[in-house]
Structure 1
């Protein structure tokens, strides 16, 4: 099935789910989730798979076992294309619209140490700085979980201390409610933007593959 765009019903579905995150609401709108959210997301990622690989479409249910928030359903639908463990391309739809990104969302202590050593390196670290600067100039938000202080073993006055503080890294950008998200043209837009993030992923894979 070709991707034709996310219908308005997808945004309405998540607007209402944020107000009534209950099994009764979900059961009453299960078909809307399937036709307006799950099937279009599957179609979108399938059209991108030839270049980026197969996507994992995340389950809509939340894991509430260790959370104080017992809301049973996620208020967004995400899909992830891995290029390495916990590293890859991302797209999501929710009440505020569509957003895309790339990066790594988790790292073992060994992997994080390897990444930080690369950031500290006189050649590899400036290379990452240039990649991040290009992404920001192109309109990307560079984000991730960070430490409040310097990681153990590095000086707080290190010239790349902001990068060293990262425990995760991601480049994200929002399309919001742009008309684009309701059309087949979204495929090419996501494709172009994921291509812009490839240098970041290549750097993470090269230096964090331990």
Structure 2
């Protein structure tokens, strides 16, 4: 595996082309560039970060699973992967590249029912909920945005006027930020950006690992 060298300025153009012509013809014609400059560099970046932070890496397939989707376009318009079991958190830390730039983040995405129950119980508790609110403010002050879906109203069993209702409504608790490719992202810049984003999200990650943890539900069947 080669070391991470960065993302060149043509990466966004490759994704813009894929968005405009999401076809096997386009993808096969531009596959060498994708393998070298997109997927190859993301794989190398994750490998470098794994050496620094520990954990196992995974790059997801570019092909979309269209079996149960109305949208039959064959390819994802971003390339992404995760680092799991790092020194920061057992959960997966996300990194992806697309036309919008290099994105990094961490947290609990689309929590399962048992996780939501533990999460909401902890948020409703005055001590633990206040602790999460303080950690969230710390992470946001570091320049990270909170992403993910929320319920339209209060979850069942919780009052709509609860002081932490916005937190209770969340189905995901994730934080991240994005770095535009611009004239290119160098190796040091890319590694520093991703590792720094993940480290900045650590206060909330530690809270989630302590009070929510992984799901104990069996895998879903499609």
**What TM-score range do you get, normalising by the shorter chain?**
over 0.9
CA shift in 2, pair 1:208/1:184, >3 Å: same
Q: Which residue of 2 aligns with 1:31?
A: 32
Counterpart CA distance in 2 for 1:86 and 1:152 is: 29
Task: Say whether residues 1:91 and 2:95 are aligned partners.
Answer: yes
Counterpart CA distance in 1 for 2:80 and 2:37 is: 14
Q: Which runs of 5+ in 2 are unaligned?
A: 217-222
Q: TM-score, normalised by structure 2?
A: 0.88
Q: Is the 8 A contact 1:87 1:105 kept in 2?
A: no
Q: Is the 8 A contact 2:101 2:179 kept in 1?
A: yes
Q: Which residue of 1 aligns with 2:76?
A: 74
Q: Is the 8 A contact 1:150 1:161 kept in 2?
A: yes
CA shift in 2, pair 1:116/1:180, >3 Å: farther
Task: Say whether residues 1:126 and 2:130 are aligned partners.
Answer: yes
Counterpart CA distance in 2 for 1:179 and 1:10 is: 10
CA shift in 2, pair 1:114/1:13, >3 Å: same
Q: Which runs of 5+ in 1 are unaligned?
A: none
Counterpart CA distance in 1 for 2:182 and 2:94 is: 18
Q: Is the 8 A contact 2:8 2:184 kept in 1?
A: no
Q: Which residue of 2 aligns with 1:136?
A: 140
Q: TM-score, normalised by structure 1?
A: 0.93
Q: Deviations over 1:37-92 (max 9, x none)?
A: 11100110111103142221111011111211111000001111234999431111
Q: Is the 8 A contact 1:180 1:186 kept in 2?
A: no
Residue 35 of structure 1 deviates from its aligned partner by 0.4
Counterpart CA distance in 1 for 2:24 and 2:137 is: 44
Count the aligned residue pairs. Answer: 210
Counterpart CA distance in 1 for 2:17 and 2:188 is: 25
Query: Aligned runs of 1:42-121 on 2, under 5 Å?
Result: 42-50=43-51, 51-83=53-85, 87-121=91-125
Q: Is the 8 A contact 1:6 1:181 kept in 2?
A: yes
Counterpart CA distance in 1 for 2:124 and 2:12 is: 43
Aligned-residue Cα RMSD (Å) equals 1.9
Q: Is the 8 A contact 1:45 1:54 kept in 2?
A: no
CA shift in 2, pair 1:52/1:197, >3 Å: farther
Partner of 1:115: helix, strand, or coil?
helix
1:199 to 203, 208, 211: 203
Partner of 1:123: helix, strand, or coil?
helix
